[in-house]
Structure 1
């Protein structure tokens, strides 16, 4: 396995692979890898085959964090990440630094961003202004550097995947986007690098996100329910956990992300909850 730090080196290698007809699978991450990330690596490997190359990027992207968010304390453990990637059969880890990805950013000389203006407005976009501008910008840059045939994202970040798909379609990126299922702990909590922030009591209460999804599923089995009523039910459930605070819950069309007034099986649900000081997200099709 090769570790590459410089964007130019990554792009030259990817161009060489292209010339040789080698398929490239790509998994962008912010590191602190867990089984969910490794499942994306497996999907990428199946997509490109044994003769293809799988690239994992490890980069905590500063432009997708807002003021007061957890950029500085976001968990990092590159040696462990490299070991996991090696064991998973990754061919290249691309781990750039801020200066190489955003030259001149602290001095105000970096001023080019990619913005999706429709799907990114609601939910995470409303709760974290500027977040998706950072996501689309860094993913566009990574696509230009890694030149993947296939890129794999996790369904846990459903809105992010939808925004990336729209960007790829609108800007004619020659890459196929695959969205792999959310990987969960035995008690239902979606795997996330931010779970590391939780103390034991908070970890127990964090299952409320999955319990809310299960509650909504159970409610709509008997027929369509008003979204307003289900939002109230979810809010009451979250409020029953002392350390939990609901940020938002939405019911929407899986493809368009448009909110729906009536919720039925097949409607998508997403929510964000603060557990202590840790903000967690989850989603699922009901």
Structure 2
């Protein structure tokens, strides 16, 4: 069996190019650029790097980026107030709250302060419900990017068994809902799942989203399975032991360069969509 790496860089470039063209059209029609507000609490190095990267990508796509840094000691009430102010600002079209926030903050309360029409990262309960019921709305960007990757590589989820490892509300759960919407049979695994390797070995599509470096071993992978590694850990490694899994998988995303680029591309695309919807 021939294994293939499944990078997302080319797909992301295509999405960003089309997004830049739409952003230019929006500016031509309205005289203003689409605007994404990025909110970050504290100075976690990884989060600071991610936000900087997203702001740089915004500039390349013709999107204005408004940076809203808040101190580590910000309270839930203060963060919610800041997010609500952005939600009410007509010059802001999309809001990204960088997560995780510090432990003393109620992250869910902060997410829910984002107006549904500006939830371009797909983190609110409204967006999750829209994904689950197939209604209009914004997809969670990493799960949405995963679905675009599968489509781009000709992977048809219908009738296949997809195993999602991880149940976070902004990655594992929405990924499961989007796969279910494409008629996959979906199993969601988590920290209490018994005999996890045996379950993963039954999967035609594996989505690893556990946040643990090289957690999924190569001998867990069914021959010919498609492996999507949605993890990113210190040392530039994902949640899958890539070298071990490569001989077993038909397609496997690298880390970095796999899911990450499509995540950011989808964020930009949804920001421009939100701008047009609000105009």
Flag the structure with higher strand content: 1
Structure with larger RCO (C-alpha < 8 A, sep 6+): 2
State if a TM-score over 0.5 links the two structures: no
Q: Please give the TM-score of this superposition, normalised by the length of structure 1.
A: 0.33
